[in-house]
Amino acid sequence: MISGPLKWYTVAARLEQAVYATLSDTPQRHGVVPGAIAWDACDCGMLAVSIAQVYPSEDFPIPQPAPVGSCHAPWEVGEVVVQVIRCAPNPEGQNLWPSTAALDASARLVAQDAYETLLAVSTELCTMSNTGDISEYLLRPQVVQGPQGGCVGSELRALVSLPRN
């Protein structure tokens, strides 16, 4: 079972590596990031993984409302966020809007990234569960993000359970 002070970083890093290895079109920028994922430069694309929150739980995935028994829930649940972001189409030349061809190509790439991300995350979490590295996991709905600030992509969140220590 993954444990220790870097256990949540370890989970995030394994998911980042799994997604990066699965993406057909790998972005130059990729890694585990602290806190909210900033869309500060998507000119070459970006794969970012972050831990959004961690909380104690006695019954996965439900947060422990108050200390009970020995004052400590036996589990921690971490919410892992995985985003693959690409450049959104922009107006070209004298047009005030992107071409339908550019929009279509963007939609195709976002759909491919989303599929490959879901495949990689679900496969890696299943492997981690089967090998006993994690206790339980739950995938949340994958959501298309943007376009915003010239970027568009998808976000997948997963809840993962590890023993408290």
* Range 5-16 average pLDDT: 98
Question: Does any domain span residue 164?
Answer: no
pTM for this structure?
Answer: 0.92
Q: Residues 6 or more apart from 51 whose CB is under 8 A from it?
A: 8, 9, 11, 12, 78, 79, 80, 81
Query: Using 50, 70 and 90 to split pLDDT, how confident is the model at 68?
Result: low
Q: Is the pLDDT of residue 70 over 80?
A: no
Question: Does any domain span residue 165?
Answer: no
pLDDT in tens, 150-159: 899 999 999 9
The label of the residue with tokens 């915003």 reads: 148
> Residue 126: which domain range?
7-142
pLDDT in tens, 80-102: 999 999 999 887 777 788 889 99
Question: Does any domain span residue 22?
Answer: yes
Question: Does any domain span residue 148?
Answer: no
How many structural domains are present in the chain? 1
CA-based nearest residue to 14, from 136, 160, 121, 151: 121
